[in-house]
Amino acid sequence: MARLSLRHLTKTFGAQAAVRDVTLEVRDGELMCLLGPSGCGKTTTLRMIGGFALPDAGDIQINDRSVVALPPEQRPTAMVFQRYNLWPHMTVAGNIAFGLKLRRLPRAAIAERVRDVLGLVGLPGFSQKYPHQLSGGEQQRVAVARALVLEPQILLLDEPFSNLDARLRVHMREEVKQLQRKVGITTVFVTHDQEEALTIADRIAVMNEGVLQQVDTPDALYARPQTLFVADFIGTMNLVSAHADAGRALVAGPWRLALPGGRWPEGAEATLAVRPEDLVPDPQGAPARVRRVINLGHYLLVLLDGPGVPALRMFTEKGASFSEGQEVRLRIARGLVFCGPEVAEIGGPMRPSVAAPTDRA
Amino acid sequence: MSVAVGAAGRAGAPWFWAIAGLRRALELGAFLALAAFILGPLLTLLVWAAAGTWLFPNLLPEFSLRWWYYVLGNENVVKAIRMSFLSAPVATLLSAVICIPAAYAFARLEFPGRRLLLLSFLSANAFPKIGLYVSIATLFYRLNLMDTFAGVVMIQLINTLLFMIWIPTGTFRGINRNLEDAARDVGAGPLRTFFNITLPIALPGLIVASLFAFLAAFDEAQGTLIVGTPNHMTMPVMMYTLVLSYPQPVGAVFSVLLSLPSLLFLLLAQRYLRAGYLAAGYSL
């Protein structure tokens, strides 16, 4: 039972702000993902929660109690590190029991809890092995067990699967998700892999250059990105520079789109964001030429060049017939318009797509 | 050795290299030559040490251990042996106590002048030592440290600094910080983390450093000769006297005695010796 809240958290390294005024609420039992490109401040944020970095300003509260003044060993958090997790001179049991021994638990109780937690992560009978005898995935599971055995209030995971191969990574994140559901522990998970974030998180906090961009469920993040960065970062997106027109319309390349409300003055610069699945062939649409057709398994990625809008990406069904050099006409079914801090939707929210996230990762 | 020769042979091989038997013979020859070059003098030493008398026409000397009795029966020699085996461990231990925390600081903390300070430990080895010892001697006269046990230990300590700082610094730097953070995370304070996590992981590197330091202290002759005479002579210092004023087998016997600890330690250290420990220390 634990809520975590970050209040106006700021951390600077030298002149550079690593984390800028981040305010975030993590609900009890929630799996929150911190997502962003490398250097966006997500790991720094996590390390501040764990106590390994001190914030320059702001507060960290667990169940409304500030923990900023506490060193790592006194915080009710447990962290699973990116790599080199386990102490090489101790057995699996020794690694897991270390924290329990510090708490002066009786020997029998320690043995029982080690056995229980090893069963929980699916490694019964591994207690007497040394870390170098384990595979990467097994090591990470032991690391998770070591964190969970102390029954922390908050579980922190710092890109825990980044050094595993792709197949194992997919398997491990499913396992961690199920484990997290079973234990019901409040979890903060850092990753730069949006596919990972979209598949396991209850909510995702997208960060860029130390600034929190948007906090939302994976669906909402995909359908209604609130900043241009999120629109570009999550899934695949066509970005077309555009400007507002006198007649309540937006001109983007060859397209002229009706703007709901028509709130921007004539000539205002904007960016139109369109998902590849929202580019639809239509005899009434604007002209474009097919540059390449890429077969991505269960769907096709078609690269198109329109007048003034090069390299548009379109997803279509596998059966669709496109050939290189072919002239087509395209309509924009849905889109988002970013003008300064404002966002406008054209044709309703974007549909979450199975294909979209994997294409980018 | 043979591997390197073989590889070179394949690249631009002379004609006879293709004949397997000849190649093997050449490799064996090269190996034996190298072995003779390295082990030959040691072997001669061993023979001399076990020689009673060794006169011209004889290929081998008459076997005798009388020079051993002579050396081990000499009061001054025994005193020097005792002095060596007392001062070198003390110097090594002191060095460890001083240097290991310093090495940890060099590896883990950022402080102004870190690089310069780390380099300064090299400086004792960067100048001809004899000059350094003479100036230390003038200092020791003032401090009444001449011809004392403490003075000898301090001289030996200087020789250990390089090993005890540079190797452990590299060792500590090679330990991933996450391992320490993980210990803090599960509830260990900074000291417990150091003693339960960092130190055990660093131990092989620290053992290697201590062995090198011990040998450096044990082997020190120049400085001890200046600072320790006449009453605090160590084995290497004694060596000068023995070589100059006793029959040849005495020197040989003493040499064998002197190399015993080195040999013993190198055998012990084999387990821990990895090229990485030495190399790691030399990166700033």
Domains of chain B: 2-49 (no CATH), 69-281 (1.10.3720.10)
pLDDT at site A30: 93
pLDDT band at B8 (very low <50, low <70, confident <90, very high): very low
At A51, the pLDDT band (50, 70, 90 cuts) reads very high
Does A256 share its domain with A225? no
- Residue B231 clears pLDDT 90, i.e. is over it: no
- Where residue B252 falls among pLDDT bands split at 50, 70, 90? confident
Q: Domain end: A210, A231, A252, which one?
A: A231
> Using CB atoms and an 8 Å cut-off, which of residues 255-274 of chain B contact chain A?
none
| Per-residue pLDDT, A47 | 93
My answer on whether A179 and A35 are in the same domain is yes
What pLDDT score was predicted for residue B273? 62
Of A303 and B57, more confident: A303
pLDDT of the residue at A319 = 76
Out of A231, A247, A271, a domain closes at A231
Distances (CA, A) of A194 to A24, A308, B160: 19, 30, 53
CATH, residue A324: 2.40.50.140
Is the model's pLDDT at A108 over the cut of 80? yes
- Average pLDDT for chain B: 83
Residue A324 has pLDDT above 90, yes or no: no
pLDDT band, very low/low/confident/very high, at A113 (cuts 50, 70, 90)? very high
Q: Give the C-alpha separation, A306 to A278, whole Å.
A: 16
Alpha carbon distance B210, B43 (integer Å): 28
The pLDDT of residue B178 is above 50: yes
| pLDDT, position A265 | 79
What integer is the mean pLDDT of A232-239?
A: 88
Q: Closest chain A residue to B201 measured between Cα atoms?
A: A89
Same domain? For A248 and A216 the reply is: no
A312 is a domain residue: yes
Most confident of the ranges A89-98, B1-10, B236-245: A89-98
* SS3 assignment for chain A: CCCEEEEEEEEEECCEEEEEEEEEEECCCCEEEEECCCCCCHHHHHHHHHCCCCCCEEEEEECCEECCCCCHHHCCEEEECCCCCCCCCCCHHHHHHHHHHHCCCCHHHHHHHHHHHHHHCCCCCCCCCCHHHCCHHHHHHHHHHHHHCCCCCEEEEECCCCCCCHHHHHHHHHHHHHHHHHHCCEEEEEECCHHHHHHHCCEEEEEECCEEEEEECHHHHHHCCCCHHHHHHCCCCEEEEEEEECCCEEEECCEEEECCCCCCCCCCEEEEEECHHHEEEEEEEEEEEEEEEEECCCEEEEEEEECCEEEEEEEEECCCCCCCCCEEEEEECCEEEEECCEEEEECCCCCCCCHHHHHHC
* pLDDT computed for residue B123 by the predictor: 77
Same domain, yes or no: A54 and A129: yes
Say if residue A246 is in the same domain as residue A187: no
Q: How far is B53 from chain A (nearest CA, A)?
A: 55
CB contact B191 to A (< 8 Å): no
A107/A136 same-domain check: yes
A345 found inside a domain: yes
Domain co-membership, A286 together with A319: yes
The answer to whether A50 faces chain B, any CB pair under 8 Å, is yes
Dist CA B152 CA A354 (whole Å): 77
DSSP string, B58-82: -SSPPB--HHHHHHHH-HHHHHHHH
Average pLDDT, chain A: 86
On whether the CB atoms of residues B178 and A84 are closer than 8 A, the answer is yes
> CB-CB: which of A74, A85, A103 is closest to B182?
A85
Q: What phi-psi label fits residue B110: left (phi over 0), alpha (psi between -120 and 50 degrees) or beta?
A: beta
Write down the pLDDT at residue B6. Answer: 43
How many other C-beta atoms lie within 10 A of the C-beta of residue A302? Answer: 25
If asked whether residues A68 and A128 sit together in one domain, one would say: yes
- Number of domains making up chain A: 2
Residue of A337, A354, A178 whose CA lies nearest to A270: A337
Bridge partners, A249 (sequence order): A245, A258
Report if pTM > 0.80: no
- CB of B176 within 8 Å of any CB in chain A? yes
- Distance from the Cα of B281 to chain A's closest Cα (Å) equals 21
A31 within a domain of the structure (yes/no): yes
Would you call A77 and B179 a contact, using CB atoms and an 8 Å cutoff? Answer: no
Tokens of B25: 């013979």
Amino acid A358: pLDDT: 42
Rounded CA separation A127/A270 (Å): 59
Summarised one tens digit per residue, pLDDT across range A262-278 is: 567 777 888 889 988 88
B134-148 pLDDT, tens digit each: 889 999 999 998 999
- Report the percentage of chain A scoring pLDDT > 70: 94
In chain B, the largest separation of any two C-alpha atoms, in whole Å, equals 77
Buried b / exposed e across A134-146, counting CB within 10 Å, b at 16+? Answer: beebbbbbbbbbb
Does A79 touch chain B if contact means CB atoms closer than 8 Å?
A: yes
Residue B254 confidence class, pLDDT cut points 50, 70, 90: confident
Same domain? For A52 and A131 the reply is yes
Residue A163 within any structural domain of the chain = yes
For residues A93 and A217, membership in a common domain is answered with yes
Q: Is the pLDDT of residue B19 over 70?
A: yes
**Residue A121: inside a domain, yes or no?**
yes
Write out the two tokens for B236: 């290497």
Averaged pLDDT for residues A321-328:
85
CATH number at residue A163: 3.40.50.300
Please tell me the distance in Å from B50's CA to the nearest CA on chain A.
Answer: 46
Assess B195–A contact: CB distance below 8 Å, yes or no.
no
In one letter, which amino acid is B128? P
Q: How confident is the model at residue B13 (pLDDT cuts 50, 70, 90)?
A: low
Same domain, A49 and A175: yes
Count contacts between A and B (CB, < 8 Å). Answer: 63
**How far apart (Å, rounded) are the C-alpha atoms in residues B204 and A89?**
11
Could you read off the pLDDT of A156-174 as tens digits, one per residue? 999 888 877 888 888 888 8
- Give the pLDDT confidence score for residue A157 in this predicted structure: 92
Q: For residue B1, is pLDDT > 90?
A: no
pLDDT digits (tens, 9 = 90+) for B146-160: 999 999 999 999 989
* Cα-Cα-Cα-Cα dihedral sign, residues B65, B67, B68, B69: positive
Which of chain A's residues have a Cβ under 8 Å away from the Cβ of B189? 71, 73
Domain membership of residue A201 (yes or no) is yes
Residue A83 in this model has a pLDDT that exceeds 80: no
Q: Are residues A257 and A221 in the same domain?
A: no
- pLDDT: which is higher, B161 or B12: B161
User: How do strand A327-332 and strand A279-295 relate by DSSP bridges?
Assistant: antiparallel
B180 to chain A, closest Cα gap in Å: 9
Instruction: Give yes or no for residue A117 having a pLDDT over 60.
Output: yes
* The domain boundary residue, chosen from A187, A211, A231: A231
- Closest approach of B201 to chain A, Cα-based (Å): 6
Domain that holds residue A259: 236-352
Per-residue pLDDT at B205 exceeds 90: no
pLDDT tens, position by position, A12-42: 987 777 899 999 999 999 999 999 998 889 9
Cβ atoms A234, A195 nearer than 8 A: no
Identify whether A357 is part of a domain: no
Q: Which range, A89-98, A132-141, B268-277, has the best average confidence (pLDDT)?
A: A89-98
DSSP secondary structure code for residue B266 in this structure: H
Is the pLDDT at B281 greater than 60? The verdict is no
Q: pLDDT tens digits for B51-107?
A: 777 776 777 777 778 888 888 888 888 899 899 999 999 999 999 999 999 999 999
Please check whether residue A58 is in contact with residue A101, taking contact to mean a CB–CB distance below 8 angstroms.
Answer: no
